[in-house]
Every structure is written in C-alpha cells, then in structure tokens.
Structure 1
Amino acid sequence: MSGSVVRVASAADLLEVPAVEAAADELFRARGVLDLPPAASARERARAWRVLVVGRPVAGFAVLERVDGHVHLEQLSVHPSAMRRGTGAVLLAATVEHARAAGARRVTLLTYADVPWNAPWYARHGWRETDDLGPQLRALAEHEVELGLARHGRRVAMARPV
C-alpha cells in the first residue's frame, strides 16, 4: 500500500469509514479494552476539517481537525487486513502535507503511550511527546479523561513539525 493514493474522502468513502474503525478497534479488544466508544458515523466524520482515505474500498483513514491553529490528527485507523503494508505511513505523510498546505506549523495527536501501534509507532514517524498544549488541545485531552480512555493506559500528546 505504500504506493497508494491518499484522497480527501467522498461521501461514499465516509460511509465505509465506520466499518474500518470498528475493525481496527478489535485490536484493542485483544488487549482487554472492551469499552471503547463506538465508531463515529459518516455524518459525524463529515463535520471534520478533513478526512483522508486510502484504498478502494477504504483500507485506512485519517481524521484531521484544526486545533489551536495547528492540524490535529484526531483519528487514524487502518483495517487489520491492510496493516503492515505502509497504509498508516502513507496517511501520516499525507496528513503532514495537508497541514503544510494549510499553513500549520505542526501536527498534534493524543494517543496511548505504551500501545505498540500508538505512541511508539508515531515516534518512528517523527512525532514526539509534548507538554506544549494550547487551550483547545488541553480541552481535548481532558475530554478523553472524562470518556475514561486513560483507564486503559497512559495517554500522551505528541507533535510533529510540518
């Protein structure tokens, strides 16, 4: 998939995104995380600043928002059948390019510190843990605590310069 074309999601693509998210979330079930929030609907995803997808049918997606003047990677999911083929890396590269084109200085995200396909994976792609949280990113991190995501492991903010 490393040569796959990333595109801004169409309305038809958005209908496929929830199934990809649900399939990817099954990986957390194997780690004992049984109470993740349900996958966002196509309608909810359509409200995002950008949703990038790769594959036909959609094999992976990235949901991007504008947070504190930066681009924030709100969600990145790859269907298990497309994992370990460069799909996530292609989506990350496209995320950085969209951020650059939008004039952002960095891309931020919130993730689990110790899940191998979370913070360690992002670190291999140029993201670093940060305490430099603007008010909107801090509010997102606090909302994750309210949702109970921190009970499954330490959550961290990460950033990558554009």
Structure 2
Amino acid sequence: MAGVVVRVASAADLLELPAVEDAADELFRARGVLDLPAAAPAPLRARAWRVLVVGRPVVGFAVLDRVDGDVHLEQLSVHPASMRQGIGAALLGAAVSAAWVVGARRVTLLTYADVPWNAPWYARHGWQVTDDLGPELQALAAHEEELGLTRRGRRVAMARPV
C-alpha cells in the first residue's frame, strides 16, 4: 500500500467512477454475468455518505454509506489495469479508518461468496461472514435479490470490526 494515496472524491472525480466500474465489471462478464446493474451516475454517487478514490484520473474507488449505525461498503471497484497494486487494500483501510473516526463498531458489505475477488479477498483483509444484519442491511440484501444479483451466485454479508 506504500505510495497509494486515498482521498475523498471531488465532484470531478465522481464523473470518472462509471468508467472504472464498467471496466471492473468486465471481470464478471468474463464469468458469464452479463446482467449487472448499470454503473451508478455521478449524482447518485454524490448522495453517498462518503466516496473515497485513488488516482488522477481515478483508478479505484470505494462508496461508503451509513447503515444500521455502521459504515457500509456499498461498492469497491479498481480498474483492471491497476489491480494488484494495493489500491483495493488501501481503500479498505481508509474505509475502516473513516468508520473509526465516526465511532462505528464495524464496516459491513454484501458480496458474492464464491467469486475469488469478492468474499475470499475480503476475508484475507479481515472481513468475516456475518448473520448479524440489522434492519437496514437486511433491506439492502433484499434489494440486491430484487435486482437479480443472487441469480449469479450466493451472496453473503461480511463485517470487519473497527
């Protein structure tokens, strides 16, 4: 993670996120997942509690929200050309730091259980599968099911203590 600078996204940075997300989603398309939701537009991302980015232009980002009093990692994407350089790990560390600053007890996320760069990767970085879902996190999981994300694999909730 040396040399990776994580910062809060500017309005200009938010405009770059869809391209990073689309490029990262190509990894899923290669696995046959062709019906992912479209990348969120900048105005929608601007409503998040916090958006963290790496690079100019942006090569990785994390979208954080407040859910059940915790910090929730709604999205983490790194452009494939910039993977394996510590960017994702730096974004995770910054998410945990942001949670600590606001007194949250943990950072949560929802992800695919069996995709190598999803739950197994998060587990290597200190996240554990949890069934301790508050009402807001339960609602997010239900919304993901409505979007059809569970058709392509088992989804799990994970948490990392702050």
> By how many angstroms is 1:36 displaced?
0.2
The percentage of counterpart residues that share the same residue type is: 81
Unaligned runs of 5+ in 2: none
- Structure 2 counterpart of 1:68, which letter? D
Aligned to 1:3: 3
User: TM-score scaled by structure 1?
Assistant: 0.99
1:131 aligns with 2:113: no
Aligned pairs for 1:141-156 (under 5 A) are 141-156=141-156
Q: Give distance in 2, aligned partners of 1:76 and 1:3.
A: 19
Indicate the RMSD between aligned Cα atoms, in angstroms.
Answer: 0.7
Structure 1 contact 2–89 (Cα < 8 Å) conserved: no
- Structure 1 counterpart of 2:144, which letter? E
Aligned to 1:108: 108
> By how many angstroms is 1:137 displaced?
0.1
Name the SS of the counterpart of 2:36 in structure 1.
Answer: coil
Aligned to 1:89: 89
Aligned to 2:48: 48
Alpha-carbon deviations, 1:79-115, whole Å to 9, x = none? 0010011110000000000000011010000000000
Across the two proteins, how many residue pairs are aligned to each other? 162
Q: Give distance in 1, aligned partners of 2:114 and 2:3.
A: 29
> By how many angstroms is 1:2 displaced?
4.0
Structure 1 contact 127–159 (Cα < 8 Å) conserved: yes
Aligned to 1:117: 117
Aligned to 1:58: 58
Name the SS of the counterpart of 1:34 in structure 2.
Answer: coil
Name the SS of the counterpart of 2:76 in structure 1.
Answer: strand
